[in-house]
Chains A and B, each alone.
Chain A
Amino acid sequence: MRIELNGEATETEATTLAAFVVAAEFDPEIVATALNGEFVPRGERVDTPIAEGDRIEVFSPRQGG
Chain B
Amino acid sequence: MTTEDTLDLYGTKVRSRFLLGTARYPSPDHLRRAVERSGAEIVTVSLRRESTGGDKAGHAFWQLVRDLGVKVLPNTAGCHGAREAIKTALMAREVFGTPWIKLEVIGDDATLQPDPFGLVEAARELCAQGFEVFPYMTDDLVLADRLLEAGCKVLMPWGSPIGSGRGLNNPYALGLLRAHVPGVPLIVAPASARRATRRRRWNSATTASCSTPRWRRRAIPRRWPMPSGGRSRPAASASSPASWSSTTSPMPRRRCSARRSRPSQGEAGGPRVVTSSSPARGGARKQGGPESARSEDQETRPVTDLDRFYLIVDRTDWLPRFLPLGLKFVQMRLKDRPEEAVRAEIAEAVALCRAAGCTLVVNDHWQAAIDLGAPWVHLGQEDLVEADVAAIRKYGLKLGISTHSDEELETALSVQPDYVALGPVYETTLKVMPWKPQGLDRVARWKAKIDIPLVGIGGITLERAPGVFAAGADSVAVVSDVLAAASPEARLTQWLGARGTWTRDQARAS
Binding site for B on A (CB under 8 A): 5-8, 24-27, 30-34, 37-39, 41-42, 57-65
Q: Is the CB of B51 within 8 A of A5?
A: yes
Q: Is the CB of A30 within 8 A of B91?
A: no
17 contacts between A and B (CB under 8 A): A25-B52, A27-B53, A27-B59, A30-B59, A30-B95, A32-B95, A37-B83, A39-B87, A39-B90, A57-B49, A59-B88, A60-B50, A61-B48, A63-B21, A63-B25, A63-B46, A65-B75
Q: Is the CB of A39 within 8 A of B45?
A: no
Q: Which one of B46, B47, B83, B210 lies within 8 Å of A32 (CB-CB)? A: B47
Give the secondary structure class of B's interface. Answer: mixed
B44 interface residue (CB < 8 Å to A): yes
Chain B residue total in the interface (Cβ 8 A): 47
Inside 8 A of A57's CB, which chain B residues have their CB?
49, 91
Q: Which one of B65, B83, B90, B275 lies within 8 Å of A7 (CB-CB)? A: B275
Q: Give min CB distance, A42 to chain B, whole Å.
A: 6
Q: Give min CB distance, B212 to chain A, whole Å.
A: 4
Binding site for A on B (CB under 8 A): 21-25, 31, 44-55, 58-59, 61-62, 65, 74-75, 77, 83-84, 87-88, 90-92, 94-96, 162, 190, 210, 212, 266-268, 271, 273-275
Inside 8 A of B74's CB, which chain A residues have their CB?
64
Q: Is the CB of B53 within 8 A of A32?
A: no
Inside 8 A of B95's CB, which chain A residues have their CB?
30-32, 59-61
The chain B residue with its CB closest to the CB of A26 is B53
Q: Is the CB of B271 within 8 A of A63?
A: no
C-alpha gap A42/B97 in the complex (Å): 12
Q: Give min CB distance, B268 to chain A, whole Å.
A: 6
Q: Knowing A61-B96, A62-B61, A64-B21, say if A24 contacts B52 (CB, 8 Å).
A: yes
Q: Give min CB distance, B103 to chain A, whole Å.
A: 13
Q: Which one of B49, B58, B190, B273 lies within 8 Å of A65 (CB-CB)? A: B190
Q: Which 3 A-B pairs have the closest CB atoms?
A: A64-B46, A7-B274, A25-B53
Inside 8 A of A62's CB, which chain B residues have their CB?
45-48, 58, 61, 266-267
The chain B residue with its CB closest to the CB of A65 is B21
Q: Is the CB of B59 within 8 A of A60?
A: yes
- Name the residue in B25, B88, B96 with the highest tally of chain A Cβ atoms < 10 Å from its Cβ: B88
